[in-house]
């Protein structure tokens, strides 16, 4: 079996995001970038399935500028076999990303596509769902446990009320939750070996899909500053303040 895993380069989750003065976006120059955290879980799960002997090949794909290749290299360093870098110097919305991934799926013919549940930069939570719809494949989103069977997968999903178990026939699209596993660190020898693994290059606008963005970003603003809290002496004071000042009870 073969897995295609989608990995996106985003601003590192530890970085304090700074909005540009003209409101046109956020600062990315000299800012630490990393793999989108749930995409590390998607890669880790693929590698575990390969180690279990059920999967033969893992192909890691990213769509982004030249530096996005680092994201693919990282996936190669933890166990992916091959990489694909679809080059685009401009931001592409989830719809365009899903269309590009569909093209890659048609070429690579994987049994499963693993993605993160959500990218922490745009917070869209759309790409996996759109890709599944376009391919007409079953989808299991927010996966926190994956059990691969012969022609299907049993997935435990995180939902508002708790956990839900579903079974999807292969081929299928799986989006991964942070609770799915503990991503491993790449060892130095594996980082060195990953440099020799092949990465195919393509250009997004040459793939023959319409990747025009549909959403126009008008302005990016800092969230309003929160006022400092106060300490209350006892429950009675708390209740009184909630009733008379905040007027929420």
Interface with ligand AMP (CB under 6 A) = 6-8, 36, 38-39, 62-64, 94, 97, 115-116, 118-119, 122, 124-128
In the bound complex, what is the minimum distance in angstroms from residue 165's beta carbon to ligand AMP?
A: 22
Nearer to ligand AMP among residue 55 and residue 72 (C-beta): 72
Q: What's the closest the beta carbon of residue 241 comes to ligand AMP, in angstroms?
A: 39
Could you tell me the smallest distance in angstroms from the CB atom of residue 245 to ligand AMP?
A: 39
Distance CA 46, CA 43 (A): 5
Residue placing its CB nearer to ligand AMP in the complex, 65 or 164 = 65
Residue 245 and residue 243: Cα distance in Å, rounded?
6
Cβ of residue 163: shortest distance to ligand AMP, in angstroms? Answer: 21
Helices (H) and strands (E) in the chain, counts: 6, 11
Minimum distance, C-beta of residue 59 to ligand AMP, in the bound complex (Å): 12
Q: Which residue number, 119 or 153, has a Cβ lying nearer to ligand AMP? A: 119
- C-alpha 107/C-alpha 166 separation (Å) is 28
C-alpha span between 133 and 138 (Å, rounded): 8
Q: Which is nearer to ligand AMP, 8 or 73 (CB)?
A: 8
Question: For residue 34, what are the contacts with CB-CB under 8 A and spacing of at least 6?
Answer: 9, 10, 11, 12, 13
Q: Which is nearer to ligand AMP, 25 or 240 (CB)?
A: 25
Assign residue 79 a region (left: φ > 0; alpha: ψ between -120 and 50; beta: otherwise): left
Measured CA to CA, the distance from residue 197 to residue 185 in angstroms comes to 18
């Amino acid at each position: 079996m073969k897995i295609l895993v989608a990995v996106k380069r985003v601003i590192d989750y530890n970085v304090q995001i700074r909005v540009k003065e003209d409101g046109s976006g956020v600062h990315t120059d000299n800012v630490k970038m990393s793999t989108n955290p749930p995409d590390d879980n998607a890669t880790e799960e693929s590698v575990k399935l390969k180690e279990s002997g059920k999967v033969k090949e893992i192909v890691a794909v990213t769509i982004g500028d030249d530096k996005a290749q680092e994201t693919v290299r990282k996936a190669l360093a933890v166990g992916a076999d091959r990489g694909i870098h679809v080059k685009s110097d401009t931001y592409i919305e989830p719809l365009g990303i899903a269309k590009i991934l569909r093209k890659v799926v048609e070429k690579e013919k994987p049994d499963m596509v693993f993605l993160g549940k959500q990218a922490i930069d745009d917070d869209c939570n759309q790409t996996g769902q759109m890709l599944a719809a376009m391919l007409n494949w079953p989808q299991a989103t927010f996966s926190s446990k994956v059990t691969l069977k012969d022609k299907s997968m049993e997935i435990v999903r995180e939902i508002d009320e708790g956990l839900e178990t579903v079974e999807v026939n292969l081929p299928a699209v799986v989006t991964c939750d942070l609770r799915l596993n503990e991503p491993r660190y790449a060892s130095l020898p594996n980082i060195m070996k990953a440099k020799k693994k092949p990465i195919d290059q393509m250009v997004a606008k040459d793939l023959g899909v319409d990747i025009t963005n549909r959403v126009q970003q008008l302005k990016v603003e800092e969230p309003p500053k929160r006022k400092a809290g106060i300490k209350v002496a006892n429950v009675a004071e708390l209740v009184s303040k909630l009733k008379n000042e905040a007027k929420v009870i």
